[in-house]
Chains A and B, each alone.
Chain A
Amino acid sequence: MQGTAAPALSAMMLAVAFELGAFLDENATELAHALVRTLKVSVIAIAGAFVIGAVLGAARAHRVPVISQLAAVYVEVIRNTPILVQIFFIFFGLPQLANVEFVGVRLEFLRFDAFTAGWLAVMIWGGAFNTENFRAGFEAVPYRYREAGLALGFGRVRTFLNVTLPIGGRIALPSSINTYISVLKNTSLLYVIAYDELTSTALQINALTLRTLETFFVLGVVYLALVWTLSALIRLLEGHLALPESH
């Protein structure tokens, strides 16, 4: 049993390896373009999620009235509903309101193309998780640090910018990078709104070439390379940006 299975298996692996070269010759350019689109959506969404997280996280940590409560609702709604349903809602649900007139304004802007709906959906999702990351980070900054800032004559905003943000931001860094990794992985769901990122493109190539094994091998390798690189970055940054006190 063992004797017959092993050569058969290695022959199969060889066949896969052999086809891989031809597969890449034909499809590498298209996959590279798709990778660029995945990265484009991810970068926009991550930048947006960073801003949302820092602003709303600060409002949550400092209990800014009204904004803090609204941010809490936003965070709970996004965290407790599936991102795939959020994408459906934004891309298929919201355009239904595009013809409605609301206080004299036609809501035409609610009709998105796949690219806009794509980065918007993953950004809104990442922003909610990042709000929690930054809130926890800002709340972890010892009160005496802020007192010291205030004693030096900084106002509340300047104390936040000069003391709480740099220290709390570092504390929040590992968890927020984890959120960015999830944002990158979630761009694969934009397949459902036919945005031509990696997963959509791979499935199109699969349908055309029927080279299923090669397609999914390459797709998996590309995603793992991206995700593992970002995770390695966390470990690298953790050493570099650790607070001096914790050394």
Chain B
Amino acid sequence: MLAVTIPDWVEPVARYIFEVGIPNTLRIAAISLVAATTIGVLLGTLLTIRFLPSRALIRLYIEVWRGLPILVTVFMIYLALPAFTLRLEFKPLTAAAIGLSLWGSAQIAEATRGAIQSIPREQHEAAAALGFGWVGRHAFVILPQALRRLLPPLVSLLVNIIQNTTIAQVIGAPEVLETAERSVERIASEPPAGTGEIHAFEIYGAVMVVFFLISFPLTRLAAYLERRLV
């Protein structure tokens, strides 16, 4: 009989990562996804209006937040905004969520613009002929159709947001990677807190497995939707 014994250090680490890390990771991801989708669809729709100043401003928003590394955006929010005024001082978790929302909304705005422009002119004309104004036309006719095409990029965005929540680790938000890092350091410290052993390989390897198990089904789903809907 081959008995697999789980070492003593595993249980508290797993408990810490699953009870503290995972909920925080999901919290950051959920807030960012909702904010990015709302802002992104709105800006993407406004971007299709032929009015130069608004288009230039939205373009700038998209290119800036897509162009900056997310880490730099997060540092700007966490460190540079409080330098303007202390009212803009955020907790690490919030700062990371804002950074991811800015980046994600830029991605979704660009995707929305493409999706709306792929809807044939006739749909706009038919809706206008039925008496819909600009808002009604987009809310009831154009966007529901564009949303179908938006679904694959939205699922991809979700995968990317979940993976990029780890950037919150850098400013110390206790998400999965941060809880893993603290666990590695605690075990490596002298007794009684730790054992003085190093288990970075196992713990960071396990974090990769956790993320893989979350992401892989979602990337499959995105690929499936891409084939089905486009």
Binding site for B on A (CB under 8 A): 76-77, 79-86, 88-89, 92-97, 185-186, 188-189, 191-192, 199, 203, 206, 212-213, 215-216, 219-220, 223-224, 227-228, 231
A125 CB to nearest chain B CB (Å): 11
Are the CB atoms of A79 and B219 closer together than 8 Å? yes
Instruction: Add 15 more A-B contacts to A76-B219, A216-B79 (CB < 8 A).
Output: A80-B212, A82-B177, A86-B208, A89-B201, A92-B200, A93-B204, A186-B69, A188-B69, A188-B71, A199-B72, A212-B83, A216-B72, A219-B72, A220-B72, A224-B63
Are the CB atoms of B68 and A212 closer together than 8 Å? no
B80 interface hit (Cβ, 8 Å): yes
A87 CB to nearest chain B CB (Å): 10
User: Which one of B72, B159, B169, B211 contacts A223 once the chains associate, using CB atoms below 8 Å?
Assistant: B72
Find the A residue at minimum CB distance from B82. Answer: A212
Known: A79-B219, A192-B170, A228-B63. A93 touches B205 (CB 8 A): yes
Contact residues in A for B208 (Cβ distance below 8 Å): 77, 81, 85-86, 89
In the assembled complex, the Cα of A203 lies from the Cα of B75 at a distance in Å of 9
Known: A84-B166, A199-B71. A96 touches B198 (CB 8 A): yes
Q: Which 3 A-B pairs have the closest CB atoms?
A: A80-B215, A188-B69, A82-B163
- Tell me the interface secondary structure of chain B in the complex: helix
Binding site for A on B (CB under 8 A): 63-64, 67-72, 75-76, 79-80, 83-84, 159, 163-167, 169-170, 177, 180-181, 184, 198-201, 203-205, 207-208, 211-212, 215-216, 219
Most buried by A among B75, B84, B170, B205: B75
In the assembled complex, the Cα of A61 lies from the Cα of B217 at a distance in Å of 23
Contact residues in B for A96 (Cβ distance below 8 Å): 198-201
Are the CB atoms of A82 and B72 closer together than 8 Å? no
Are the CB atoms of B79 and A88 closer together than 8 Å? no
Contact residues in B for A199 (Cβ distance below 8 Å): 69, 71-72, 75
Are the CB atoms of B68 and A77 closer together than 8 Å? no
Contact residues in B for A203 (Cβ distance below 8 Å): 75
Contact residues in B for A89 (Cβ distance below 8 Å): 201, 204-205, 208
User: Which one of B67, B163, B198 contacts A81 once the chains associate, using CB atoms below 8 Å?
Assistant: B163
Known: A89-B204, A96-B198, A212-B79. A84 touches B211 (CB 8 A): no
Contact residues in A for B63 (Cβ distance below 8 Å): 224, 228
Contact residues in B for A224 (Cβ distance below 8 Å): 63-64, 67-68
Find the A residue at minimum CB distance from B162. Answer: A82
Known: A76-B216, A188-B71, A192-B170. A88 touches B204 (CB 8 A): yes
